[in-house]
Amino acid sequence: MEKPVNTPCLGGVCAAALTPLNADLSPNTGALAVHLAWLLANGCDAINLLGTTGEASSFSADQRTAIMEAVAAAGLPLEAFMVGTGAASLADAARLTTRAVALGYAGALVIPPFYFKHVSDDGVFAYYAALIERVADPKLRLYLYHFPAMSGVEITPALIARLRAAYPHTIAGVKDSSGAPGYAAGLVAAFPGLDVFPSTEAILADARLAGYAGCISASVNVTAPIAGAVWHAAPGDAGLTQRQANLTALRATIARYPLVPALRSVVAANTGDDTWLRIIPPLHALDAADALALGEELRANPAFAAIAGAFACA
């Protein structure tokens, strides 16, 4: 039987953080710590470290461990961090998750194993169960990462029910990157107490009323100052509707381009640091025409001036 442990709860505006790179495409942990601190100071309540946006699966297990250790050593508030520890290898996932818990990260975001496709709920349950039993730490708070476009695996409500029944003090929430209509809302209705995070800040103005824990979004690497203002708006704030409309439009503009290269392009342009353009193959940087067009589209949004100003003050 699991023993409950008091652990921090993650919520609010959560950035799926980019990972800056050195010239040899190894992680630049110094620049990463600076970016994470900027996010937390400019609208983010939490950080998803080493998710899809952070190109986690393009790093080795040793590199991912080194990133977790460097962020922990940087003095950042690990109670605000959910770290991606999923891997196709059960042994790697267990190693990464064990280290994340030992370092003090508040949560582990775990995508299902993503090599074998069309596996059964029984198989996915066995993977998560084996992971939890191998970590064997009551402090583990595990967030299921539902991203079938990447994993090829559905995290079904029936599977969630089984995992919650077996590990009620470990299964803390779900990040839904499926875009499937009604999926996230259905989880909120079916599982009281489960923290459900859609993957877009377009829902923030109504997120609390809808029962969501917040959002975990890639584009928050850029939109954090506006996203934070929307999430933390006072009840009855007359400007909330317009701020949410501007925020939604910013997200949509970025999403018209390949997401990780687009975000790298915007951060590079607004920090004046072209090292942000480095990206691990098979991904590649935006071409010059797309980068120019993206920048012009963003600057046409009246909310973007506040974002540019926050980058300039970093």
Summarize pLDDT for 67-78 with one digit per residue, the tens. 999 999 999 999
pLDDT of 9 reads 64
**Residue 25, helix vs strand vs coil:** coil
Q: Compute the C-alpha angle 54/218/303, nearest 5°.
A: 140
CATH hierarchy code of domain 12-238: 3.20.20.70
Domain ranges in the chain? 12-238
Does position 3 have pLDDT exceeding 50, yes or no? no
220 vs 93, 179, 201, 236, 278, CA distance in Å?
26, 17, 7, 24, 19
Distance CA 314, CA 96 (A): 31
Question: Would you state the torsion angle of the CA atoms of residues 3, 145, 311, 269, taken in this order, to the nearest 10 degrees?
Answer: 150
- Report pTM: 0.94
Summarize pLDDT for 210-241 with one digit per residue, the tens. 999 999 999 999 999 999 999 999 988 999 99
Note whether 197 and 214 are within 8 A (CB): yes
Does position 135 have pLDDT exceeding 50, yes or no? yes
As given in the structure block, the two tokens for residue 252 are 């949509």
**Distance between alpha carbon 206 and the CA centroid of its chain, in Å?**
20
Query: CB-based contacts of 157: which residues, under 8 Å, 6+ apart?
Result: 186, 187, 190, 191
Query: CB-based contacts of 65: which residues, under 8 Å, 6+ apart?
Result: 95, 96, 99
As given in the structure block, the two tokens for residue 205 are 């103005």
Does position 303 have pLDDT exceeding 70, yes or no? yes
Summarize pLDDT for 22-73 with one digit per residue, the tens. 999 999 999 999 999 999 999 999 999 999 999 999 999 999 999 999 999 9
